[in-house]
């Protein structure tokens, strides 16, 4: 149980609010606001964790967020992309417009961690009853952005510009035939009449608490869904020669698809993953079926090679099936495009974060293959996305439960680092630098 050795300490770790960190990067007034909001940030997070809601069902979460933003005297819009919330803080001085984003939805995962505020929520997903858990840290994202809103609203008269707070639903994937939260918010004019010059977001990640990781260029992969239907010819299991076996063909296709990333694409210029996660075929042990259905995911980092990659996938599937006399129907459905941080914009954000956290706590890193629909905001507005570490002290990244795991664990004091980073980056853009 090396991945979860620290979970037994959870009750002790969560018994107290996040501890205060000492950094020279903020004015005394901002530092005072940070210290005052920390206990509430932890309370909000625990409440959201204990009451998670699936994509486009974030009604309770949105109500709490909207009430908080209204209490800060912001202009608030609700119902953006069904359950999204947008708050606008107008500073006391003229200046640029920026946006800060947090995602709100939980996952169909049954929590296994032994926390005093563990989720016992149940719901329905894809026609099945499921447990619901914030297994990706979105509860912390919401609480951090609510805390940031409190700190920034307290300095309203000193703010030189406007800050848009975007609380997004449905990051964890679009419903069948619909749009995910980021794309739908953009389609519904999330920014209104304002035109932000930059947008920023963060994500909980199983790395060292007290650190953030900022990666220039491609940071997270594009992610699309792959659906394959193999059609053969049904026959008796004792007479395979009398038909065409789609089960054998499907196994050949699964193997052939692995040659796309390993033999057909440039492994350095365009890292690719093709994974088949579901295969269904047949109803009886001695009948070779007519069809087999497969579903999988395609991950890629280089947007420029996307169409070539898909052409190779389609060709590999079709020709492998044809070699056995079968046919293959292939559908690729876009889920998310790569998250790409513009180097110049990231360099400025990194400098601000270093001022607040110190050089050693702002790390570089390598791209990862999970996806994030923050990328669609980056299409509309230059944007920077970064990770903040959530591991308990002494737990290495390799030993921590990954995102989407039923034992995903957030060391609550780490949230303060995410808050400080987001505040430093925001204040750098709206005329009140962290070291003012």
What is residue 409's DSSP assignment? -
Cβ pair 309, 330 in contact under 8 A: no
Query: Is there a catalytic annotation at residue 227?
Result: no
Rounded CA-CA distance 14/136 in Å is: 18
Options 171, 372, 373, 416, the catalytic residue: 171
Residue 363 has which token pair? 């790390």
Joined together, the tokens standing for residue 291 give 């069809």
Tokens standing for 355?
A: 């001022």
- Select from 181, 162, 220 the least CA-distant residue to 84: 181
Strands 383-391 and 212-213, how do they pair?
antiparallel
If you count DSSP H runs as helices and E runs as strands, how many of each does the chain have, helices first?
A: 11, 18
d(CA 351, CA 202): 16
Q: How far apart are CA 397 and CA 311, in angstroms?
A: 36
Show the tokens assigned to 21.
């960190």
Say which residues have a Cβ less than 8 Å from residue 329's Cβ, sequence separation at least 6: 228, 229, 231
Render 294-309 in DSSP notation, one character per residue. EEEEEEES-GGGHHHH
**Quick check: is 105 catalytic?**
yes
CA angle 251, 260, 374 (to 5 degrees): 110
Q: Which of 57, 58, 103, 105 is catalytic?
A: 105
DSSP state of 133: B
C-alpha dist (Å) from residue 207 to 23, 104, 389: 20, 21, 4
Residues classed as catalytic: 105, 171
């Amino acid at each position: 149980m090396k991945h979860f050795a620290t979970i037994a300490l959870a009750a002790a770790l969560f018994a107290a609010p996040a501890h205060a960190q000492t950094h020279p990067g903020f004015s005394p007034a901002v530092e005072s606001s940070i210290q005052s909001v920390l206990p509430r940030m932890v309370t909000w997070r625990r409440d959201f964790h204990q009451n998670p809601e699936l994509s486009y069902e974030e009604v309770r979460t949105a109500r709490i967020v909207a009430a908080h933003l209204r209490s800060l005297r912001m202009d608030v819009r609700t119902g953006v992309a069904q359950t999204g919330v947008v708050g606008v803080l107008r500073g006391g001085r003229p200046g640029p417009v920026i946006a800060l984003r947090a995602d709100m939805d939980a996952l169909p995962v049954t929590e296994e961690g032994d926390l005093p505020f563990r989720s016992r929520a149940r719901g329905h997903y894809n026609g099945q009853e499921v447990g619901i858990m914030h297994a990706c840290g979105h509860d912390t994202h919401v609480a951090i952005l609510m805390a940031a809103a409190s700190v920034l609203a307290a300095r309203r008269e000193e703010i030189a510009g406007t800050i848009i707070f975007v609380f997004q639903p449905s990051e964890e994937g679009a419903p069948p035939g619909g749009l995910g939260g980021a794309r739908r918010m953009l389609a519904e004019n999330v920014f209104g009449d304002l035109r932000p010059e930059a947008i920023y977001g963060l994500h909980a990640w199983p790395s060292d608490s007290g650190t953030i990781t900022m990666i220039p260029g491609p940071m997270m992969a594009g992610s699309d869904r792959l659906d394959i239907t193999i059609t053969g010819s049904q026959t008796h299991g004792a007479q395979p020669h009398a038909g065409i076996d789609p089960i054998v063909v499907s196994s050949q296709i699964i193997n052939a698809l692995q040659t796309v990333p390993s033999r057909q694409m440039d492994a350095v210029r365009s890292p690719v993953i093709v994974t088949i996660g579901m295969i269904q075929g047949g109803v009886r042990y001695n009948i070779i079926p007519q069809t087999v259905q497969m579903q999988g995911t395609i991950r890629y980092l280089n947007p420029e090679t996307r169409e070539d990659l898909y052409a190779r996938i389609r060709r590999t599937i079709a020709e492998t099936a044809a070699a056995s006399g079968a046919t293959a129907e292939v559908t690729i459905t876009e889920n998310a495009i790569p998250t790409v941080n513009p180097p110049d914009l990231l360099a400025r954000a990194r400098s601000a974060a270093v001022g607040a956290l110190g050089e050693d706590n702002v790390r570089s890193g390598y791209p990862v293959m999970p996806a994030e629909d923050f990328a669609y905001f980056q299409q509309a507005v230059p944007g920077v996305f970064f990770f903040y570490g959530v591991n308990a002290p002494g737990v290495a990244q390799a030993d921590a439960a990954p995102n989407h795991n039923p034992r995903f664990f957030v060391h609550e004091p780490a949230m303060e680092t995410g808050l400080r980073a987001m505040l430093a980056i925001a204040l750098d853009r709206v005329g009140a630098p962290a070291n003012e």
